[in-house]
Structure 1
């Protein structure tokens, strides 16, 4: 199990140490994604990664020496010594040393007893020679060597590319979405588990990682957005919305908006866009439902602005007394001539406060696709088949994104 010392004061040494930890965590995520559903991966177990298949156990040490050259078996002394110490307890695991050198030189992919002894012999300039294999006979050392594999690890960038490909396959999306969303979430999963003192928490399966990646909240921290750029992040969110069929006009779609004085103008504009998109569509199209939070004065002001803009909306008479039957009723529409496109409609938008909407039973008005501007709230999952939360954007960007999806 990796020990986390204080980072060296030299900046280059500190950078190498951090890169080593990140390299290890990416390798852990790759191990999880390539594991069978019945396999269990112990993060920071006996070694950095312990893989239990039911038939055998494998301990993997991950080392990243990008600034070093493999020169002799002694270059691998420390990780091999730790593995032999575990073997000496009577364990008969398999062992893997996954190591990256800037220059691999003549690094072998396995040791025989002679190479193992060379690796584990330390000859200081002064003092006694240290033989870390002392007390283990040659038969057992040979058995240990038969269990030990030395793998040439990819560079940090090559391994990251492999992780992106594995995530793309596991989640079913493209590379941009992986970089924008799932790469950070996979790393977060490993980081959170690795930090725990509880062995049970550090135990994980492939399915647990997949579940973590595919929960309803498709978000990641602001630093990741800043890293890839707002445009790529927005494009990834748009693709995710479309792949989840948020653009389908025949689905009952809703959006939650929290009104404030700072975003009021953009909120009015977004409501107008979603409403006007309804006209001219096929008569099978359903109008958007907009659920708003905010002070009564701001909600009233929003409705006044929409009336002035000629937007007809259905609020279930909530300003008098909310009537669920009136709210869920379908609009009366007129089509163009003998065609199927909507020319006029008794309303082109449903608009209601959160308090009124939550008076509805899900069986009365079940939302198919629900967009939350901001964090997903607990009540949303009960009212919709699928919830997608958007955040980190400026108000004007929400409007642009939803206009493209609407």
Structure 2
């Protein structure tokens, strides 16, 4: 599959997932939404069930053949319900097409439905003059299912066809607007916190084997996505572009300038066993260079705190030693060999005179102690690989999932 066709496939999946999210946001609290049920999306209420099939053909014109198979499958399902005496359900075809919508005549008539959607030809093997051959045979699905014209009329009343569904971008905008309204947030938060979390929820549901585990309600969905952490959704980032995604994160959280507030900033980042000490030191230097002010003219000087998750004590000592030997003055709150953590020693203000450029935090327990002692405004920026490793909501705490440790270079 080429990169372009891969992107098109991903957009198609996103469009379906976005429609699912939109239907959840538009549902009432008594409805249950099933992902990949009878159709792509099932909307189940106490008094009715609606099965929704969703298609996205941004580059293709509408033709009857595009929705012919889905309609036939829906009719088969309808016939099965009639045969078993089960309550019938409603069906909804929802799709976006480049053009050609005028080809479909609505509302459907029974004859129009039969001719354009329920009649098909199929090559079948026959024996003629003792030899095998193939012959095109015409099939009429409604006859094969034993459905009368009255049955077809009832089916038409249960079927809604929308081939003028909004574009990918317009549907997404509608989702963002609803999320902004519900969570009282801006567009960046709606997209990168709540929508991104929503995508993960729907994607996880779609992979469940048992249909009983693929359902969700609006209250539970909103509860699950109500988390302020940036998830690295590989589908979303691949579609949007990794560089663009990180630029947006940087623009919203890590723009520095002459008027950067002198807050106590804590940078917590996770490393992999394969990450070299050189790369870890490079990240620390970037944090130090961008998030410290130690000039003689600076009244409110400051420098950042750093905690490195999943780095062994030996490697952490190596990092400190090498940075110190390279001329970086640092503090870690341990003033002599065998000493206990001295919080006051660590939180002393960095100045041009003492030259403290970076403050290391050795453990999450130490981090708790330090945060409890600091009265000044403070901010935590946590970068995790799989799962966030620290929770503290006593101050601004931004949680950002990354793919690789070195991705920090493009964010901070």
TM-score, normalised on structure 1?
0.69
Show the counterpart of 1:301: 321
Tell me which residue corresponds to 2:281: 264
Structure 1 residues 62 and 374, CA gap change in structure 2 (3 angstroms): closer
1:234-283 Cα shifts (integer Å, max 9, x gaps): 2211244369xxx9847543112558233324424533543336976665
Aligned to 2:165, which of 137, 140, 154? 154
Q: Secondary structure at the match of 2:108?
A: coil
1:290 to 283, 301, 306: 306
Structure 1 residue 218 displacement after superposition: 0.8
Q: Assess, with a 3 A threshold, how the Cα gap between structure 1 residues 305 and 210 changes in structure 2: closer, same or farther.
A: farther
Alpha-carbon distance in 1 for matches of 2:187, 2:61 = 33
Distance 1:213 1:350, change over 3 A: same
The 1:52/1:75 distance shift into structure 2, 3 A limit, reads closer
1:31 offset after TM fit, Å?
2.1
SS at match of 1:215: coil
Q: Does 1:45 align with 2:56?
A: no
Distance in 1, matches of 2:66 and 2:281, equals 68
Counterpart contact for 2:229–2:400, Cα < 8 Å:
yes
2:87 to 88, 91, 100: 91
CA distance in 2 between counterparts of 1:279 and 1:398 reads 29
Instruction: Judge conservation of contact 1:71–1:106 (CA < 8 Å) in 2.
Output: no
Query: For 1:195 and 1:365, how far apart are their aligned partners in 2?
Result: 45
Q: CA–CA distance in 2 between the matches of 1:236 and 1:370?
A: 19
CA contact (8 A) 1:312 1:349 kept: yes
Indicate yes or no: 2:253 matched with 1:241: yes
- Structure 2 residues without counterparts, runs of 5 or longer: 122-135
Corresponding residue of 2:293: 276
Q: Does the residue aligned with 2:72 lie in a helix, a strand or coil?
A: helix
Give the 3-state SS of the residue equivalent to 2:103 in structure 1: coil
Confirm or deny that 1:198 pairs with 2:216: no
Question: Paired residues, what number?
Answer: 374
1:62 equivalent to 2:73? Answer no
Determine whether 1:24 maps to 2:16. yes
| Structure 1 residue aligned with 2:129 | none
| Residue 204 to residue 93, structure 1, CA distance change in 2 (3 Å) | same
- Tell me by how many angstroms 1:51 deviates: 0.8
Q: Distance in 1 between matches of 2:28 and 2:143?
A: 36
Deviation at 1:398, TM superposition (A): 3.5
Q: Counterparts of 1:28 and 1:289 in 2: how far apart (Å)?
A: 42
Q: CA deviation at 1:59?
A: 1.6
Q: Could you say what the CA RMSD is over the residues aligned between the two structures, in angstroms?
A: 4.7
Whole-angstrom CA distance in 1 between matches of 2:9 and 2:369: 55
TM-score, scaled to structure 2: 0.68
Pair 318,192 (structure 1): closer, same or farther in 2 beyond 3 Å: farther
- Do the aligned partners of 1:110 and 1:148 also contact (CA within 8 Å) in 2? no
Separation in structure 1 between the aligned mates of residue 61 and residue 140 of structure 2, nearest angstrom: 28
Q: Is the 8 A contact 1:256 1:291 kept in 2?
A: yes
Q: Could you tell me how far apart the structure 2 residues matched to 1:313 and 1:197 are?
A: 52
Displacement, 1:57?
2.3
Report the secondary structure of 1:323's partner residue. Answer: coil
Q: Compute the displacement of 1:203 (Å).
A: 0.7
Paired with 1:58 and 1:242, the residues of 2 have a C-alpha distance of: 45
Q: 1:122 aligns with which of 108, 119, 122?
A: 119
1:353 aligns with 2:350: no
Unaligned segments of structure 1, at least 5 residues: 1-8, 334-341
Report the Cα offset of residue 202 of structure 1: 1.1
